[in-house]
Structure 1
Amino acid sequence: MDALMIVLVVTFLAQLGGRSSGFATRLAERTGAIVPVLSGLLVAQAVLAAMAVALGIAIAPELTPELRSLLLALALVLVGVALTTRMPRPGSPFGWPRLRAFGTALFGGGAILVADSGMMLVAAAAARSPLPWAAWPAAILGLLGALLPPLMLGEREWQRLPWRTIRIAIGAVLILAGVIVGLSAKGLI
């Protein structure tokens, strides 16, 4: 159950105001098709999360419980650091005309998710959990929760929020959480 909550919350927070939400809003406004864009991104996230969970299950027997917790701490810190750096450039809605909204969201969004989604965190949470497959729906639901508000509001309204400040605050919290998990894994707190 811990994999479910960790991945759900961190995926949601990490994707807020990120490249995938900018890509989704631009593509949805360009094509006028919110549902195919959303479903394409969710299918891409489902495939990537399944691969990350499978990786976590594969490496789990080779890791000690302490090392599993340290891997999770490292993943939390890396996601936090990524959030505190420069704002990502908005993803451009690219694709071949034959792909339509779903195909462009699947392949273009999938490429963005590979770079931005923190699949190391999904693998680390799956390796640490007694229920590793709980990380899979959590990654999908976290992305869904992060994509629905910008798609419903539209790009103009969504970009009015102070995303730089929000992302730095979220990143600082995730770095702190990673440090706490790491220190507790070593028995220092």
Structure 2
Amino acid sequence: MDPLIPAFIAVMLAGLTDRPPVLVALLADRFGVSRTMAGAFVAHAVGYGIAAGAGALVAPQLPADARTLLLALALMAVGGSTLFAARLRDRLDGWRLPGPIVAALGVGMLALGDRSQFLVFALSARTPAPILAATGATLAATAVAFVAATLGERGWSRLPFTILRPIIGALLLGTSAATALTALRLA
């Protein structure tokens, strides 16, 4: 299975309801779109690269059905968590570093081990080309971050997330169920 498109779609959907775009929108208001995007891109590329590498390392240890079930679990985690609103605990107001560094560190800390990275890990475990999963996820996360940076904090918060969250959650949870049935050989 070529993971580029599935990673792109899943991370795009999950990213709309995740915390990193909220932080990117906030930081873009403070530092500007280009500086914030530079840091966000680096954070996403490194994070998804690590997740894909870890998935490639685990893949030989798991049978094919277990890798498919791992993907179903990742989709379930992503789908379930999209149902809840993304809130920031820290606006990084006290950080006195340059904009790209604040964005890279802030987005990197929020994204470290998050649901989208778990999804890339699971997708990478199912494919001989994990770099494609990392690439698709990085492109999707960067696209969502760009929209958030362009809209800014006020514009991003006005998007209809109360409508989007249940729709995205249902899509991802439905895909998770279908994937689990395939892994268990019930479908």
Which TM-score tier does this pair reach, normalised by the shorter chain? over 0.9
Secondary structure of the corresponding residue to residue 89 of structure 1: coil
Q: Is the 8 A contact 1:45 1:140 kept in 2?
A: yes
Query: What does 1:149-160 align with in structure 2 at a 5 Å threshold?
Result: 149-160=147-158
1:76 is aligned to 75
Query: What does 1:56-71 align with in structure 2 at a 5 Å threshold?
Result: 56-71=55-70
Secondary structure of the corresponding residue to residue 154 of structure 2: helix
2:180 is aligned to 182
- How far apart are the structure 2 equivalents of 1:151 and 1:113? 17
Identity of aligned residues (%): 34
- How far apart are the structure 2 equivalents of 1:52 and 1:18? 17
The superposition leaves residues 145-165 of structure 1 with CA deviations (integer Å, 9 ceiling, x where unpaired) of 211222222322222222122
60-69 or 112-121, which moves further after superposition? 112-121
1:162 is aligned to 160
Q: Is the 8 A contact 1:95 1:108 kept in 2?
A: no
- The Cα of 1:94 is off from its aligned counterpart by 3.9
145-154 or 172-181, which moves further after superposition? 145-154
Query: What does 1:78-117 align with in structure 2 at a 5 Å threshold?
Result: 78-84=77-83, 86-90=84-88, 92-94=91-93, 96-97=95-96, 99-114=97-112, 116-117=114-115
Q: Against the structure 1 CA distance between its residues 102 and 142, is the aligned structure 2 distance closer, same or farther, given a 3 Å change threshold?
A: same
- What TM-score, normalized by structure 1, do the two folds share? 0.92
Taking only aligned residues, the RMSD between alpha carbons, in angstroms, comes to 1.6
Secondary structure of the corresponding residue to residue 102 of structure 2: helix
- How far apart are the structure 1 equivalents of 2:153 and 2:95? 22
- What TM-score, normalized by structure 2, do the two folds share? 0.93
- How far apart are the structure 2 equivalents of 1:39 and 1:113? 16
Secondary structure of the corresponding residue to residue 76 of structure 2: helix
- The Cα of 1:7 is off from its aligned counterpart by 1.1
Q: Against the structure 1 CA distance between its residues 26 and 139, is the aligned structure 2 distance closer, same or farther, given a 3 Å change threshold?
A: same
- The Cα of 1:76 is off from its aligned counterpart by 0.4
Structure 1: segments with no counterpart, 5+ residues: none
